[in-house]
Amino acid sequence: MFERLRNRKNRRAYREVLARWNADGGDSRFRFDYDLAPDSVVLDVGGYQGQWASDLYARQRCHIHVFEPIREFADAISARFSRNADIDVYAFALGASDRTETLSLAGASSSAHKRRQSQVDVEFRDVKRWFEEAAIDEVALMKINIEGGEYELLERMLDTRLVKRVAALQIQFHYFVENAERRMTAIQDRLAVTHTPTWQYRYIWENWERKETSA
């Protein structure tokens, strides 16, 4: 009973914040408001259909790495940007380790933290390993929307100090993950050492800008 009540409370709070986000014009007002250049490196973690990458590139030309572990979606994104040398697509997820994991399929809400009949095995790649192999020293913007996977990814980046290489983090936390509140608060507290929150809409989107002294 307590779990049902808590989930109901979370959903109600989520709808209230979502209404405020929409009233504030969040998608158009905040999500593309970055000072990028053609040589700026952007990581789109959770590409789905590639729409955010497309919209960002239309506004500001930059180099975008899109990560989408579901092969069907990754192939569609690759085809969409096949003539754009500035956008690279990777058919794996970034996480805390190298492994294969089962995701439940639900379009943009596909997740390892939900259980549905339609499932697929996907590859996870250790984010530290990928940064090293790709020789990434500086990221202008990292957008993270991976349906619960953000917790382990950010914890890994904090543990390895990779967050210090990222100038701006655009994050969507999700409340349906076990201990979501505690883990989100812990991540935010650790992020605050190197970054400053510039806008926050709880469990919708929030943005963190690196402090100059942490570059």
Is residue 50 situated within a structural domain? Answer: yes
Is residue 135 situated within a structural domain? Answer: yes
Is residue 151 situated within a structural domain? Answer: yes
pLDDT of residue 4: 47
What is the spatial distance between Cα 2 and Cα 91, in angstroms, rounded to a whole number?
Answer: 39
For 30, the 3-state DSSP assignment is coil
CATH number of the domain bearing residue 178: 3.40.50.150
**Long-range CB contacts (within 8 A, 24+) of 28-33:** 30/199, 30/205, 30/207, 31/143, 31/170, 31/205, 32/56, 32/59, 32/60
pLDDT of residue 110: 46
Is residue 160 situated within a structural domain? Answer: yes
The pair of structure tokens assigned to 107 is: 């379009």
pLDDT of residue 119: 84
Is residue 205 situated within a structural domain? Answer: yes
Query: Who contacts 197 (Cβ-Cβ below 8 Å, separation ≥6)?
Result: 188, 191, 206, 207, 208
Is residue 70 situated within a structural domain? Answer: yes
Asked if 143 and 52 count as a contact pair (C-beta separation under 8 A), the reply is: yes
Encode the chain (215 residues) as per-residue pLDDT tens digits.
Answer: 334 445 677 788 899 999 999 999 999 999 999 999 999 999 999 999 999 999 999 999 999 999 999 999 999 999 999 999 999 999 999 999 999 999 887 655 544 545 656 788 999 999 999 999 999 999 999 999 999 999 999 999 999 999 999 999 999 999 989 999 999 999 999 999 999 999 999 999 999 999 987 65
Is residue 18 situated within a structural domain? Answer: no
pLDDT of residue 12: 87
Is residue 76 situated within a structural domain? Answer: yes
Boundaries of domain holding 111: 40-214
The number of distinct structural domains making up the chain is 1
pLDDT of residue 106: 64
